[in-house]
C-alpha cells in the first residue's frame, strides 16, 4: 500500500521531534557519561535517516532548533556532520576509521579560475605530498580526480555521505574517477575557492593527522603542505595567485575556506585593480556598507579611484556563523583593506537593502554618496567577475 503525502509528513515530523529531543538532552547533559548516552542514540537516529535518504527530517530538526537559538542546534549539527563525514569500516586487518576531508585552495585570476580533471601524475604528486606532510604514517588515502568549485560540492547531507562512501570504496586504488557530466556549472569570480576532496583511513583509534602524533604543530603542517603542494597546484591553477589551506575534515575545512576567502578577496581585488589600472593602492577609495533583509546579512565594499565618481569594482563580505551587527566585522574589513594598502576607507552608516542589478543580477555596491550602484571597470580595461562567491 502506498504511503500518502500527509502520512509521510507526519513521519518526518515524528523523526524531527525525536532528533530535537535527543539533541536537547545532549545539550543539557551534565557529565561525559551522560553525553555518551545521548550521543549513541543520536548517532543511531541520524544513521537511520541517512540510510533512508530522509533529508527532510534532518533539516526540519535543525530548523526548529535554529529558531529557538538553542545550544542543542550546535549539538545536532555537529552530530549530523560527524556521521556524514566519518565511518567505521571493517577490513581483514580489523576496524578502520575513515574520514572525508577537503583541501581548500584560495585562488584569484583575471582569467576564469579553473575547475578541471586532475591528471594522474598531478594526483600522485598531491597524494605523495599529503602522505609526507599532512597525514599520519599509518594513513591510507583516496583522492577524487577533480578540482572542485564551491558550486560543484555536494548540496545535501545525503550527497556528501554518498561521496564519502564512493571514495571509501576506492581506497585500495588511491583515486576515484569523477563523472564530470554530473557536476554543476561554475560561476566565475575574480577570487574563489577550489577543493581537493578525499578520504583518509587509519586503524581504529590511531591518529589521522601528523599534528595528532605530537611531533609537529598544526601550523608547521600547514607551512610544509603549502610548500610541498605548490608545484602541483601551479599545474592546476595557471596564471593564478593562490594560497593552499590546511587539509581538514570536510565540513570544518569548508567553513575555514569560507572565512579565509573574505580577506583573500580584498587582497586579490586590490592587486587586480592596481595592476589593471596601473595605480597605487593609496589611489583607491573603499566604501563599506551593511546590507539588510530583516537583519544584517552582509557587508558590501565598493571601490572608486580617488577623485572619481564611478564604482569600478565590488566585493561581498557575507556574515558567517553567529556574526551580527555587534561583531567586530567592520574592524576586520578595515584592517584587511589597510593591510592591502588602502588608506581612504569610508563607512556608510545607513542601513542599505540587498539590491541587485535587474539586468545581470550582480550585487550593487556603495559609492561615496551613499548610493548602491553597478560596479563597472573603465571601458579600456578587461572585465571580470565582480564579487566573492
Tens digit of pLDDT for each residue in 197-245?
Answer: 999 999 999 999 999 999 999 999 999 999 999 999 999 999 999 999 9
Model pLDDT, residue 382: 55
* Nearest-angstrom CA–CA distance, 118 and 40: 39
pLDDT class of 68 with cuts at 50, 70, 90: confident
Model pLDDT, residue 388: 41
> In the predicted model, what is the mean pLDDT of residues 242-250?
98
Q: pTM here?
A: 0.92
Model pLDDT, residue 10: 53
* Nearest-angstrom CA–CA distance, 291 and 294: 10
What is the domain partition of the chain in residue ranges?
A: 5-83, 92-250, 279-373
DSSP state of 206: S
Model pLDDT, residue 4: 41
Model pLDDT, residue 322: 87
> In the predicted model, what is the mean pLDDT of residues 254-274?
97
Model pLDDT, residue 44: 97
> In the predicted model, what is the mean pLDDT of residues 16-42?
97
Q: What is the pLDDT of residues 76-132, one digit of tens each?
A: 999 999 999 999 999 988 999 999 999 999 999 999 999 999 999 999 999 999 999
Would you tell me the crossing angle of helices 157-168 and 32-52 to the nearest 10 degrees? 90
Which residues lie below 8 Å from residue 69, measured CB to CB, with a gap of 6+?
Answer: none
Amino acid at each position: 500500500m502506498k504511503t500518502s503525502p500527509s502520512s509521510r509528513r507526519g513521519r518526518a515530523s515524528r523523526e524531527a521531534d525525536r532528533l530535537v529531543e535527543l539533541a536537547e538532552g545532549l545539550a543539557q547533559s551534565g557529565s561525559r557519561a551522560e553525553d555518551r548516552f545521548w550521543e549513541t542514540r543520536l548517532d543511531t537516529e541520524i544513521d537511520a535517516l541517512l540510510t533512508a535518504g530522509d533529508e527532510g527530517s534532518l533539516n526540519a530538526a535543525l530548523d526548529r532548533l535554529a529558531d529557538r537559538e538553542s545550544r542543542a542546534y550546535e549539538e545536532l549539527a555537529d552530530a549530523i556532520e560527524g556521521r556524514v563525514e566519518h565511518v567505521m569500516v571493517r577490513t581483514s586487518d580489523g576496524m578502520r576509521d575513515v574520514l572525508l576531508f577537503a583541501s581548500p585552495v584560495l585562488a584569484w585570476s583575471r582569467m576564469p579560475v579553473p575547475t578541471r580533471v586532475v591528471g594522474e601524475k598531478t594526483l600522485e604528486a598531491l597524494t605523495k605530498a599529503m602522505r609526507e606532510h599532512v597525514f599520519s604514517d599509518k594513513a591510507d588515502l583516496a583522492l577524487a580526480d577533480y578540482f572542485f568549485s564551491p558550486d560543484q560540492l555536494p548540496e545535501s547531507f545525503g550527497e556528501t555521505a554518498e561521496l564519502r562512501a564512493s571514495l571509501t570504496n576506492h581506497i585500495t586504488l588511491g583515486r576515484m574517477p569523477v563523472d564530470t557530466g554530473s557536476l554543476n556549472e561554475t560561476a566565475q569570480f575574480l577570487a574563489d575557492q577550489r577543493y581537493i576532496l578525499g578520504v583518509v583511513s587509519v586503524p581504529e583509534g590511531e591518529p589521522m593527522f601528523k599534528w595528532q602524533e605530537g611531533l609537529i604543530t598544526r601550523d608547521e603542517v600547514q607551512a610544509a603542505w603549502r610548500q610541498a603542494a605548490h608545484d602541483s597546484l601551479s599545474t592546476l591553477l595557471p596564471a593564478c595567485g593562490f594560497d593552499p589551506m590546511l587539509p581538514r575534515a570536510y565540513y570544518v575545512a569548508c567553513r575555514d575556506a569560507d572565512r579565509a576567502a573574505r580577506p583573500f578577496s580584498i587582497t586579490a581585488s586590490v592587486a587586480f585593480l592596481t595592476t589593471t589600472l596601473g595605480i597605487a593602492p593609496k589611489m583607491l577609495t573603499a566604501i563599506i556598507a551593511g546590507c539588510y533583509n530583516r537583519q544584517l546579512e552582509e557587508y558590501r565594499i565598493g571601490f572608486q579611484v580617488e577623485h572619481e565618481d564611478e564604482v569600478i569594482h565590488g566585493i561581498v563580505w557575507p556574515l558567517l556563523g553567529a556574526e551580527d551587527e555587534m561583531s567586530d566585522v567592520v574592524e576586520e574589513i578595515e584592517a584587511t583593506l589597510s593591510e592591502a594598502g588602502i588608506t581612504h576607507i569610508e563607512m556608510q552608516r545607513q542601513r542599505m537593502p540587498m539590491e541587485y542589478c535587474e539586468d545581470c543580477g550582480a550585487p550593487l555596491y556603495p559609492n561615496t554618496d551613499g548610493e548602491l550602484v553597478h560596479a563597472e571597470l573603465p571601458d579600456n580595461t578587461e572585465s571580470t567577475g565582480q564579487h566573492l562567491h
